[in-house]
A and B are shown apart, each in its own frame.
Chain A
Amino acid sequence: MHSTDLRRGLERREARLAWWLVTPAVGTILLVALFPLAWTLWESVHLHDLRMPWLGRPFVGAGNYAEALGDPRFWSALGHTGFFTGISVTIELGLGLVLALAMNRATRGRTLIRAAVLVPWAIPTVVSALLWRFMFDDQAGIVNVVLGTIGLTHEAIVWFIRPDLAWVPVIVSDVWKTTPFVALLLLAGLQNIDAGLYEAARIDGASTWQQFRHVTLPLLKPALLVALVFRTLDSFRVFDLIYVLTGGGPGTSTEPIALYTFNSLLQNLRFGYGSALSVITFGVSFVLAATYLRLLGRDLTEAKS
């Protein structure tokens, strides 16, 4: 009797201590994650324009959201973001897979190759964007020189003033920079596959393609999905790369949603409208992440059973 009381008291004290111990962590999360989110939500339902203080700071309900939905620049920014994400992630996954398979085959200098492959990924985005900007410069850039030398073009292409061609440097530099990340992720996945499975497949008379199709791909699916989730969410928030390379131009034809939000929020100082844009971006990313996580979760459980 006495001892159970003591134990209960101890448990209670331990529970209390545990709460005290997690308080800083929970508090920090509330402070750095939830508080800004709540604040942004609050801003997004108010008219708050630092440049027009005479308008005050009235509550406008869904007014900012309605403005965004009726704003062609918002829709085209969303479209650009989707376009950029779709194209670059597809290329990155394809190329990354090829690279990973090649690296998996390499027997000599594997560590060196892996380190070398990581170099583009290690360069800060702003630096690599500037690098590509110089390479695609119409006057002195190497891209035009190469295209001219091999006879593909007769005149220098001014990449950044064509709404279609301006995407080329953007996508090329993103692919160059992030394919290594995908490749390494997939390489890890490949190395987890039991070599015995290939042996068994060979004994059963499977061709290389059949081995790839029926052994490698299914077992690599979790790694592929992880790469897909990371790259999609990353691309969806693309900002620095395009900010440096094209500034969203020509006109606004390469402007992604993050750049438009930045512009409204920090250039035009429209806190209300900019916050509404941020909330929408957050919402779309959240839905994307949730969808992927469901896919990923199901796949992981399937793989286990």
Chain B
Amino acid sequence: MLAASCGQAPPSGATVVTFPGSMLGGEGAVLRAQLQRFMREHPNIRVVQRDTPDAADQRHQLYVQWLNAEASEPDILQLDAIWTPEFAAAGWILPLERFNPDTNAFFPVTIEANRWQRRLFAIPWFADVGMLYWRTDLMPRAPTSLGELEQEAARAKARGLRFGLVWSGARYEGLVTVFLEYLGAYGGQILEGGKVVVSSPAGLQALTTMQDEIYRSGIVPSSVLTWHEEETRFAFQNGDAAFMRNWPYPYPIMGDGAVSRVAGRFAVAPMPAASNGAPTAALGGAQLAINARSENPAAAWAVVDYLTRPEQMLERARVTGQFPTRRALYDDPALAKSLSVPVAQAREIIEHAVPRPVTPVYTELSEILQVQLHRVLTRQIDPARGLARAAAEMQALLNRAGLGPGTPLAQH
């Protein structure tokens, strides 16, 4: 355990709240500063930070072990966007209505991702969204349709650029977020209530498009099937690609002319849609929740409430570049000064954000989908059969978990 050292010694008898937040780099620095301010304003509460791994999988595993052991600590949990329903269904985190959070102040999609059975279980802290990076020196404007994106990519490639478009296609969670955006572009969904609908015509079109981009038009290199976010960033940053699908984090890095060959020559836009769908951005980011067995839920809420206030979000945006989840901040000129991504674009993209399926078994569901998507994209199985198989396996999982259609848990 590591106490956040604050200026003055905490008064004895203070309520202690434990919080395993990210403590690396800028994120850790801004969190420490904010918690110190919080403690100055609330001398009767002491926040103790706890070291946890930053890798999502490891952090998840640790949380599950703690919560399964019915530990009352940590009081506050930093959750990935996809964990809230899992923890809520397990009864590990508190419903938050009792604290009257102002849910209308946040983007509705970020609240939706944190609801389970109509109750709110976590407060969105910051948002991560998938977006399209495009080269301003190669085309006059961002493509407005998926077809236009593919044409521009092909043209750039014909003019000698190595890659048209790059996205993270290795077999991992990132592949599902990319697929989700193509799926949305064709108007499809993965899950509807307790029913898996991924093998719809829209799903088939989306996956066929992804496969064709690699093997038919060749605008996407087949190497992306081994790539994560960073490899796509290297390709785009070296000026080898006309387009890249990625999260907001590369924006400030690639703007630095010392490391980037495309500094000042790129912009971002929502991933464009086909004619039958809508531009879609996969939603990621972090949420704050309270341990259901916490001995000091009120003090824990005070911390959560403080960290998700507009001023703290603005400071976070300035230091880490992470997108605030409060809508009104996007009208605040202070955000324009804080965020490296232009606010107008950031807002447009976040308004197209879609959560991944809100279900307690998301991680397993996603793994099934990852395997079949990857098998299709490496041409081991055709898109229709791959999707059908994924759908069957995912449905079997939901049924086994008691989350299938018609079961009480399915009503999300």
Contact = CB atoms under 8 A, between A and B. Distances in A.
B58 to A, nearest CB: 10
Interface string A33-63: 0000000000000000111111100000000
A161 B61 CA distance: 29
A51 B363 contact: yes
Contacts of A248: 171
B223 A139 contact: yes
Contacts of A178: none
A250 B378 contact: yes
Contact of B171 (A49, A54, A139, A251): A251
B171 A267 contact: no
A5 B317 CA distance: 88
Interface residues of B, number: 29
A160 interface: yes
A249 interface: yes
A55 B401 contact: yes
A240 interface: no
A30 B108 CA distance: 56
B364 A268 contact: yes
Contact of B68 (A50, A162, A163): A50
Contacts, number: 79
Chain B interface, >50% SS class: helix
Interface string B359-391: 011011001000110110010110000000000
Interface string B331-363: 000000000000000000000000000001101
Given A54-B90, A251-B171, A163 B364 contact: no
A269 interface: yes
A52 B226 contact: no
Nearest to B162: A139
Contact of A253 (B61, B89, B222, B380): B380
Contacts of A269: 61, 64
A50 to B, nearest CB: 5
A51 B86 contact: yes
A263 to B, nearest CB: 8
A51 B91 CA distance: 11
Contact of B223 (A158, A162, A251, A267): A158
Contacts of B380: 163, 250-251, 253
B89 A54 contact: yes
Contacts of A263: 367
B367 A267 contact: yes
B57 interface: yes
A247 B374 CA distance: 12
A55 B170 CA distance: 33
Interface in B149-208: 170-171
A52 B161 CA distance: 48
B363 A160 contact: no
Contact of B364 (A51, A73, A249): A51
A54 B374 contact: no
B225 interface: yes
Contacts of A139: 223
B68 A251 contact: no
A53 B170 CA distance: 31
A250 B223 contact: no
A12 to B, nearest CB: 47
A266 interface: yes
A53 B91 contact: yes
Contacts of B226: 138, 158, 160-161
A156 to B, nearest CB: 8
Residue of B61, B89, B371 with most chain A CB atoms under a 10 A cut-off:
B371
A243 to B, nearest CB: 13
Given A249-B171, A266-B61, 7 more contacts: A52-B402, A54-B89, A161-B223, A161-B226, A252-B375, A253-B375, A269-B61
Interface of A: 49-55, 73, 138-139, 158, 160-163, 247-253, 263, 266-269
Interface of B: 57, 61, 64, 68, 86, 89-91, 170-171, 222-223, 225-226, 360-361, 363-364, 367, 371-372, 374-375, 378, 380-381, 401-402, 409
12 contacts: A49-B401, A50-B68, A51-B86, A51-B90, A160-B226, A161-B222, A247-B170, A247-B171, A249-B378, A250-B171, A267-B367, A269-B61
